[in-house]
Structures are given as structure tokens and as C-alpha cells.
Structure 1
Amino acid sequence: MAVSGRWWWWWFAVLIMVVSLSEPALANPQTYQLAKGCSPYNTSDPPEDFVRKINATFAHLRNQFSRGNKSFATAEHIPIYAMAQCRNYLSKPDCVACFDAAVLVSRQCSIATGARVIFDGCFLRYEMNDFYNKITDEGNRQICGKRTAHNQDVFNTTAQQLLNELVLATPRIHGFFAAAKQEISGGGATAYAVAQCIETITQTGCMECLAIAYSNIQNCLPKSGSGRAVDVGCFLRYSNKHIFANNQTTNLAPFLGGGGRSGKKKAIIAGVAGGVGIILVLAALFLYQQSKKPKAARRGDILGATQLRGPENYGYKDLKTATKGFSEENKLGEGGFGDVYKGTLKNGDVVAVKKLVISSRAKADFDSEVRLITNVHHRNLIRLLGCSAKGEELLLVYEYMANASLDRYMYGDKRGMLNWKQRVDIIFGTARGLAYLHEQFHVCIIHRDIKSSNILLDDEFQPKIADFGLARLLPENQSHVSTKFAGTLGYTAPEYAIHGHLSEKVDIYSFGVVVLEILSGRRSSDMRVEPITEYLLEQAWKLYENEDCLGLVDKTLDPSEYNAEEVKRMLEIALVCTQSPPNLRPSMSEVVIMLSSDRPIFQNKPNRPSMISDFDQRVLTATDTSATTASSTSHATASFSGFSGR
């Protein structure tokens, strides 16, 4: 590693020398560092290969800045994805210099699988997964300056108005960038402000990100003459000093509506700056209204569609006919809130129809599933084809999964039918689906009920995550939300079951338990009688600590299909996902990387969870009656999502 380290510095020294010979004198690249972060996981690739890919990626980014007339660049040298952006007011030499400085800082992350550097003038990020759609993460924050402005109260009013206008106008501007200034009334001074979003997100994503940034930067305004709000998808800054040249301002008027700073426009701006919640509510209302409108023509095969649309509004009579009047012979599964039926539509398509029993909870589940997964499209997530809401009848229509749910192959009537490769593929596909929900969709979706019965298998035994009735959105400016427990005991993370702390780490914990079930063929909540009584997770940790990983493997598997190192690696991935505290668990994108590698991943053993053997009992005694009811209810809720053959 020492040789590789010297190589990095040599490479960068040569780069700086080339810059000094080929670029004019620099003015102000604005390299004041605002944030830096490194992934806690190192690459599983040989270090030399990783360094070569990183260098090639950086060179590609730099070439786009130095030879083109642009301030935004992306580059991929699989599995590395990278992005860099300069503030548009920087000159080309300043942009290149800012980027070079960011590269230098990123070298401090050594061979970590990801790095992020944010300066006043630019930012650089690379990861080993596609993050281009992401607009925010839990690291979003504000950085307030130490100086105060002359006549701070008057300055606050002017800066607030300027920021309001930028938040409204920037998402409407091509390139998602705006710089503006405003003279302070009667003060002889000026307020300056800048807003910018990355160019790979949508207009709505830019608006949502800036709404979060706007909320964060409010913490600076009352007492500081300068402030920044930084996030992965956007940047917002104000100051009472020059940030950019006078000729670099953007005319905001065409993008504000109404042609001026009217009271009506301010009301609109206030609504926009209110945050993500309003946007999501409006989006949900729009989708609901669209689903009520009659369709001129049938949508067709969604897998071949070139444009994503809302769910199809099926007729109740058509679905009743398709399921033979919701007959017993067509029933695929049943649960506390409704049943699932196999249906054959008039065009010959086979679907699964979930018929919800009428209750306030069922209505909430219906609205939740339609709202959340209408535009969630991934090969490892069950596809919602449409819905029907005639009076009190609530129906959801999904793609049909002929190979049943995973639990039937692990410890049900089809136990022993999956070989080792199929099990590994199911683990991998489930991880990809969760990574999409958590990190690649435009908002973070927490499933809340990941378990074997909610993983369905298609004709080729590829997994699809199902049942979004308990899913929740994680607000993009929060690391977790507090809520009553709703899930299935045995799969639920301790911090959520006991304290109600819900984050994407809860799904990651559940994923780890599912991996153990796939490896062992045991149900997570079943007690083992001989030789000692223990739950699956407890047994897995003891076997791992005793270096007897093969002792966990399902006895129905052929030993020639797997080896000890492969089993150990899969077990370690499962255990690292169940660590306590939750911040020790990897992200799902990092899990995907671990699963893609056949090299050792951990230098030290994972940390043991804080509670195992008496987990269920402690949950029941630590939660109140309503929470306990919710947990038992959710167990039934999950079971009626087995859209599969009997």
C-alpha cells in the first residue's frame, strides 16, 4: 500500500505541474472546505486496480472541465461512479483548480469505496453504486459564518427574500443554477446568494432538495452575515460579501411568475419552501385524481413501456370475472385484512388481485401501496399494475408470481427445492431491490416488513420484494422517524421494536435475518430444541464465533455446491447487517458490493447485536397494547401478499 500511496501523490504532482504550464493565473477557485466524507468500507478489488480506475475516472472528469465549457461532469469506470460540479460563476481555470483540490482531499479516503468533498466553489463525489438520482442524505446540514452583517435585521429581510426567489426560480432554470444579488434598502450594502442543483436530478428533485437546504439555512440567518446549506443534490449560499463578479448574476424575473416581487408570488414561494411533505401530498392527490379518470386506451405491457405512467384503473366487474367471482379455487393466500386471488384478464394476462377487507387500516394500506409504488420500477420489486376502488371494495392488481413466496422454499411445503446458486441469487436480487428503495429512488422508502414471505419468486426464481402496505417515506432531512412498531417479530431491529426508531437500517437488519433463513432453512422465530434452545440469530452468532460456519447450512443442500469460505462470507454479510448499534450496519448499496466480491471483506469480526435470545419477549413487554396489536396485525397483513401459486 505504501507504493500505491506514493503513486497517488506522484500522479497528482504531475497533474498540478501540467496545470501550471497550461492554464493562466488563477483568480479565486473558492476551495474553502465545507465537508468531507469517506465510506467506512474499503474496496474488495486489488488496490492497484482500484487506484487505476479512480485515476481514470478523475482524468475523465477533469478533461470535461478543462476542454469543455461546462461546470458539471459525470464519469463511470464500473463499478466506480463519479460526479463533479463547479459553481457556474467560476472561470474555467478556477473550476479546474477547485476540482484538483477536491481530488487531493479525496485521496485521504485511501481505498474506501466512496468519498465526498464539498468546497465553496465545487464538489466531488464517487461511489461504487449509481447515486446520480439521489437528492439528499442524512449528512445534509448548514455551515454558518462567524461574522455578522451591518444592520443584521435589515440584512436578514433582504437575504431571506433573495433566498426565497432562488428556491423558486432555480429548478425552472436550465442547468439548475442561479446567482443573484440585492441591494439592502437604506443600508448602502448588498446581499448575495447562490443556488445550484446537480444536473442528473429532476426539476421536482431540485425543488425538494432546495426546500430542505432552505430550511437548514434558516438557522444561520438570524445572527450571521453568511451561511451555506450543503447536500448531495444541491447547494445554497448567502453572504453580505462578494461571492461572484457583478456580471455573473442571473435574471430571475422570467422564472418567478408575475414579473415581480408581488405578495402573491411571495405566498407561492412560501408554499414551495415549506418542504417535501407538501410536494408529496400534492403528488399523491394528483395520482389519485388521474386514476379516477377514464383511459382512452389500455396502457399495454408495462415492461415494454417507454414512458412510466400511473396505475391502470381496472373495473371491478372485470376483476371479479377474472377471478371467477373471487372463488376459493382461485385463492392464492389469505390474511387478516384480505385475500389474494389469481385472475386471468380478457387479454389473457394472469395477475394477482389483492382484495382488502374494509377497515380504516385497510384503507390506509390501500392508499399507502398505491401512492408509494405507482412509480417504483425495478426488476426486484413487485410491480403494481393497477387498482380498483368501487365503493367499499378496495382492490390492488399485481403481476402474478408463479413460484410462490420464498418462505415456502425455506421451511414450507417446498423446502429443499432451491440449490445453493439459486439461494445466492435470491439474496443478491433482494439486496438490489432494497438498495433501489433506499438510495436510488428519488425518495427513501423504508419497507418495514422485509421477511421471507414478502419475497416472491418469478419463473426463473428471481426475487421480487412485495407488500408495501407498511412502507414509510423517510423525510430527507431526518436520520430516522419515531413511530409505533409495525412489522413481524423475529425480523425487526431492536431499536425499532423497543424504541420506535425507524430508519432504512431497520430494513437492513431484516435483510440480514432473511439471509440467515436462506442459508439455514430455518424460520427466524422458531426455537431449536436440541441440543439447546435458541433462536436462529443467536445460533448463527455462536457458530460464527466458534468458527463453525458450515454448521448453519441447510442440511438439504448438496455439500458439493458450496465451500467453507463462501458460506463464511455470506454469513458475515448477514451478521454485519444485524449489528448494534444501527450505524454499524452497512448501506444496502455497500451490501451489494460485498455480495459482488469473492474476497474477504472484514478485517475484524462484526459486532454482536445488543439482544438476541429473549428478543420477542422483550419486545412484547417493552411496547404498549396498541403497538403489540400493530405487530400481530402486520403479521397477517404480510401473509396476504403472497401473490403466487398454491
Structure 2
Amino acid sequence: MSSSTLLMLILIVSSLKQSLCEPRATEAALICSNTTAAESDRQLFVPNFLATMDSITPAVARRGYGTVINGTGNGTVYTMGECMKDLSQNDCNLCFAQCKINILRCLPFQRLTRGGRLFYDGCYLRYDDYMFFNESFSSVDRTVCDADDFVGNRTLFKDQVSELLRNVTAEGPRNNGFFTGFVSNGNLSVYGLAQCWESVRGSGCVNCLESAASRVNSCPPKEEGRALNAGCYLRYSTTKFYNNSAADAPAGNGGGTRRRAAIIASICGAVACLLFVAMVSFFVRKKIVKRRRVKKKLGGLLSIVTKSKINFSYETLERATGYFHSSNKLGQGGSGSVYKGVLASGQTVAVKRLFFNTTQWADHFFNEVNLIKDIDHRNLVKLLGCSITGPESLLVYEYVPNQSVHDYLFGIRQDGPPLGWEQRLKIIRGTAEGVAYLHDNSKLRIIHRDIKLSNVLLEEDFTPKIADFGLARMFPEGKTHISTALAGTLGYMAPEYVVRGKLTDKADVYSFGVLVIEVVTGKRNNAFSHNSQSIFHKVWNLYGSGNVIEAVDPSMKGKFPEEGAARLLAIGLLCVQANAELRPSMSTVVMMLNGERDVSRPTQPPFLNSASAEFVPFSRPDSCTQSSGNEITESIVEPR
């Protein structure tokens, strides 16, 4: 695209009316399916679900709606998302970003729910295991009436609502399934919005709106009412809640309004065309640049590796692992499989085979080799070498015999004796020292981005070693944060990173806090579970009542110092505070763990309120200059 065209595009866009910054990210209803997946289907369904979440975001950002299908057989996931047509694109992005986070409440990974739909007043998101795109009705359709009664002439109010709903059913189908308007007698106005989803058209839309209007007509004398159907959404209110000024004429008298709307639509169409051309040019160029960057990275690494002592031949590592025999497989993560191997010298090693079926494999390899090849700390797994010249990229680490903390608490080592207090304390202290070294003491400031139980391996004496640096990022000096695609594991990712894509060292602090609470309580963090109470909620309530030691893992049978346990849980709560600025640095955490620093009183963790375990969405940014949902369109997110 020429510079003159870009300049014209910038002038047009800058002249448009700014977003009202009212994304209406207010939850109307979350409806989770009763259908659950078998254990054998979980490995197929979860990645496909996450893939549809990735794909649906650019579609919604591009045109306000989208449908995605991913997978085959029992693992197929169907997903659709849509914003209300009166929202600006920025408000749509903000609303949909929160929608994506909250829909996870229907996806507890211990009991996989195969369907969920989330209605916000500004947007809608649904996923399921069958083709539902053209559905107008379902057995879980709802009518939600406001709690507050109208104060005034209720007979007149009901008549106003009925007139508005008649206008909805008359004008909505003629306007591509969308309606905004109001009825007024001078003293009383009732406002309404209705929208059929883009995949529901014709008689399906007509029938859906008629049903919605009929059911919501039972809400008066309530001041507000909503109909939440599979194929459409309808809302009335005594307060004007929709955004487009073109709808400010009374409903039913919209001739001039429709003409203005047609003019605006023509202008928006021209702008959209220019934006589309600009976007295509941008993504084509981005793809070319990315290919060059990957080639440059690997070319530079090849030169470094072949001239260094860390170079292994592919054949050597193939023989060491018994040609990657399944009996030598130690585990599998988001970036590759790990195998036990024995070199010709007799040294036991761990060999990771990087997956080539993801676009991020070059970044993983570059991170592991270039970022951490010179890092040496007793609580970090040492990289011994790599192979880059064979049919696949391999990484060689020191072998850590006792597997992971996750295996001891929840996995294959669970049948053995439970971890004792001193072992848990040693794990927490060592992990803290390893993360603090990455943040403050290494030659490069590094954010790990995936601190979790399965990435903390244990020596025979239970010395912890942090592993898997595939998602690590260098944190330049003088930067307050870096913006990056969303990556990590659900339940461990800091809220400001999930919602706004802002990455700082406090994201690792948050993940460490989750790890501390899980190790001390012996329970998983279920912050994204729809039916299970978050361990944050339990620990926070017990802390507030002065009984926090009741949260300690009962398998230790009281064999722990109560004051020390309470102190550890308080440190965990400090690390998972919703406000990132209030979280301590990892070096301060180490001093707290060693008794060299007092533990201050924590504030409330995210995702819950003080009265219930409900997931509480983040409030919208204060101004339009805040980041939007676009920052989390590319994701590398693993289930728990």
C-alpha cells in the first residue's frame, strides 16, 4: 500500500467519532452444558477448544462476528462469537476479550464440559460439540427480569414496553435482524435493543424475535428485561443503554433514521474496505518478516551451536534414548516430549524433542539455547546441549530423577508417602530462589512465563529445579512491561497479562503464588472451574477469619508448625493479589521465606468477591487508550 493511501486512511479513521468506551461487558447469563467429555476425549477437545478461541478473535475484531469449526470426530468444537452492532470496534474488542476469559468457567479440566454460552449486554460467545450455528431456540433459553420494580404508572409502563416489543418484531427482521429504538410519551421512555445472530436469518430470525418479545413482555413492572435465546438477544430498559446516536428517534418513525443509517453504512463500508486492504498488507508483510526472522535466528544458532561444546549429533541422542522408545518417555509439555537417555560416557540425560506442528517451535528452540545456555543456578535445570542438524530439533538437559512436584501431589507418584512439611518448604524456597535469580541475578533479566508444579522437577533430596524455558522472554532494562502474545497455563497466568497482554516480572510472582498455595494446601487452583470453589476463595476466607491453617493439606496430619504454615499461605496470597503493583518482587519473597522480612497483609485475590466464589470480571479501562482484546488474539495456552 502506498504512503499516500495510508495517510488518507489515517485521516479518515482519525476523523471518525471516538469510541464511547462502553463495551457493556456486563454478564447477563452464563449457561454451561450438562454434557461432559470422557477422559479419552479430553486430549482432543481441549486443544481444539483453545484453537477456536484463537481463531474466533480476529474474525470478531475484523467484522464483529465469526464462526469457527476445529477438529474431527468426538474432538470437534464449534464456536461462534458476535458483538452488538451498535458497539464501536474498540468496545467490541474489550467486551469480547472479557467474554473469552469468563467462558473458561464452563471448561473445568477435571470434568470437561462440552458446551457453554455466555451472554453479555455487548457481546455473545458460545462453543459446543455439535453444529448449532443456525439454531433459533434451545431448551436452555432464558428470560431474565431485573430485580427493581418500576416506580410510577405501571399500567402506562407496561403499555410502553408492549409497544416497543411490537416495534421490535416488526422492524427487526426488516433491518437484518437488528433493532434499536424507544417509545416515549414525554414523561416516560422505554429503550430497546434486539439482535439476531448473523448465522440466524429469514424465518429463523423472525421466529426468534417473536418468541423473545413474547417472553420478555412478562417482565413488567420490572424496569429491565432480557430474552436470551440460542438465535437472538433482546433487552428493554428505562435507561438508554445502546450507543448509536442514529437510533435516538422514536421506534416506528425511522424513515429519516434509516436514510441516515444508509449514508453512514456507505461511509463505513468505504472505510472498512480501506482497512481491509491495509490489514491484508500488514499481515502479508508480517508473515514475510516472521519467516525471515526465524531463518535468521536458526542461521545464527546453527553457527553458534556447531562451533561450541553444546553440539550433539542427532544419531548420538537417538541411540541414547533407545531411538525414542516409549519406555524412556518421561513426559510431554506444550512444546515437546521428553525422554530419558544414557550417553556413551554413562551420563544420564533428559532429551526434549520439540514439536514441529506449531508455529512457535523456532522461538522455543531459540529461547532454550540462546537465553539459558549460560545460566547456572542450583534451582534451574541445566541445559547441556542441543542438536539442530537432524530431522528434528533436540535439547539435552541434566537428568532430574524424582520427576515433578505435580507428580507427587496429583500425579503418578501420588500413591507414595505424602510430601512432608520440610520437603514442601524446601520446594517453595528453592523455587523462589530460582525465579529470583532469573529476574535479578542472571546476566539477562528473564521472565519464565510458565511457573507451575509440573515445571518444577525434584532431585533425590527434593531440591527443586525449574524446567522448560520454551516460553521465557528477556525483559529489557528500563521497560515497565512488554506486550506479547498470551502464553502459559490456565490457572497460573496473572490477570493483567490475560486481559491486557501486559507482561512483567510480576506475572511470574503471581504464578509462584499459585504454586505456593497449591503446595501448602495439597489442592489444585480451580479458579476457572464453574462448579468447584476456588482454592483462592477458601484460603482468603480462612485468612480473614484467622483460621488459615485449616487450609493446610490434611495428609500431613498436623505435623507442621502452625505459625510457619500461616506465614507461607500469607506469602502466597501476597503474590496472587489482583493488583500487580502490590505483589512483592521475588527477591523480597525470598527474604520473607527466610524470615529476613516481615509479611504484610495481602489484599483480595482476583476472580472472586468477598461474598461468593463467583468469577468477577475486570472493570473496563478508564479511557480508550487502554489496550483492547486484540492483544490476546494469538495464544499458546495449556490446560491445567
The normalised TM-score by structure 1 is: 0.48
